[in-house]
Amino acid sequence: MNVLGIDIGGSGIKGAPVDTEAGELLEERLRIPTPEPSSPDAVAGVVRTITEHFGWTGPVGVTFPGVVVDGVIRSAANVDRSWVGVDAARLFGGATVLNDADAAGLAEVRFGEGKGHRGTILVLTFGTGIGSALFVDGTLVPNTELGHLELNGKEAEHHASDRAREKHDLGWDKWAERVEEYLRHVEMLFTPSLIVIGGGVSKKAQKFLPHVHLATPVVPAALQNQAGIIGVAHAAAGRVQTVR
């Protein structure tokens, strides 16, 4: 089944049609900057623009950077707070709506670095914030939001996200120290068998991952920044198992 996947982020909204059997984009993705303010109506306008760009009339999956329960937004850390309580599935015309990191994780577990792995897998996306997707024997535990764990008296994503790296003008080695500190914290909590690093920084993994040392294997996402698009399309095609 082919599905249009759209990935809403704090800085950009990107989408492309996806072959959900192969886990591949069918066309070059379109990226549009996230509007400011990132209100529901403004973001819905961008989603509509992307849909029209591809002339899409089939099923659609949309990610959201926050907690999503049955298509309704429950938190909005990196977009406008007016999203909280919005029925995003209805706003997007009946689309499947999923937490953005959960979507990226689904893609990595089905088609990427997590494929064939058993046990506990953590997929962590480093971008505007830190997103997380937790899998136990291939089953998703949704909406973990581990970027909001407390670390050194503040939310972890304020200390170790890619935005924090840019804000504090950190070199890759210095930022890697913060990333390692955060990863050691989640390693202690979950004892994962594998940690996959996704988000925009995954394509620059060689700049920081050699400086990160954990007992748990840590690898960059195979699908890099396309994972959210592919994962939410996969979810919209009805191939997702989650813990409720």
Among 7, 26, 24, 2, residue whose Cα is nearest residue 92: 7
Domain that holds residue 213: 104-225
CA distances from 212 to 18, 120, 141, 187 (A): 33, 20, 26, 13
Q: What is the pTM of this model?
A: 0.93
Highest mean pLDDT among 37-46, 70-79, 194-203: 37-46
Residue 238 has a pLDDT of: 87
| 49 pLDDT above the threshold of 50 | yes
Boundary (domain end) residue, out of 43, 77, 99:
99
What single-letter DSSP state applies at residue 65?
S
For residue 169, give every residue at least 6 positions away whose Cβ sits within 8 Å of its Cβ, in sequence order, or none: none
State the total domains in the chain. Answer: 2
- Expressed in percent and rounded to 5, the helix, strand and coil fractions of the chain are 35, 25, 35
Torsion angle in degrees (nearest 10) through CA of 210, 214, 134, 58: 10
Question: Do 182 and 198 fall into the same domain?
Answer: yes
State how far the alpha carbon of 49 is from the alpha carbons of 6, 53, 142, in Å.
11, 6, 28
Check whether residue 171 and residue 207 sit in a common domain. Answer: yes
CATH at 67 = 3.30.420.40
Same domain, yes or no: 118 and 138: yes
Domain match, 33 and 109 both = no
pLDDT at 78 over 90: no
Q: Is residue 75 within 8 Å of residue 82, measured between CB atoms?
A: no
Q: Is residue 54 one of the residues assigned to a domain?
A: yes
Residue 241 has pLDDT above 70, yes or no: no
Q: Is residue 16 part of a domain?
A: yes
* 112 and 219 co-located in one domain: yes
pLDDT at 187: 98
Q: What angle do helix axes 227-236 and 100-111 make, rounded to 10 degrees?
A: 90
Task: Say yes or no: 62 and 138 in one domain.
Answer: no
**Which of 66, 99, 132 marks a domain boundary?**
99
| Residue 234 domain-assigned (yes or no) | no
Split at pLDDT 50, 70, 90, the class of 110 is very high
Percent of the chain, pLDDT > 90? Answer: 91
25's tokens: 């984009």
Residue 145 inside a domain? The answer is yes
Which pLDDT does position 244 carry in this prediction? 45
Residue ranges of E strands in the chain? 2-8, 12-19, 24-25, 30-33, 60-64, 68-69, 72-73, 96-99, 120-126, 130-136, 139-141, 150-151, 154-155, 194-198, 218-220
Whether 232 is covered by a domain: the verdict is: no
Average of per-residue pLDDT across 120-144:
95
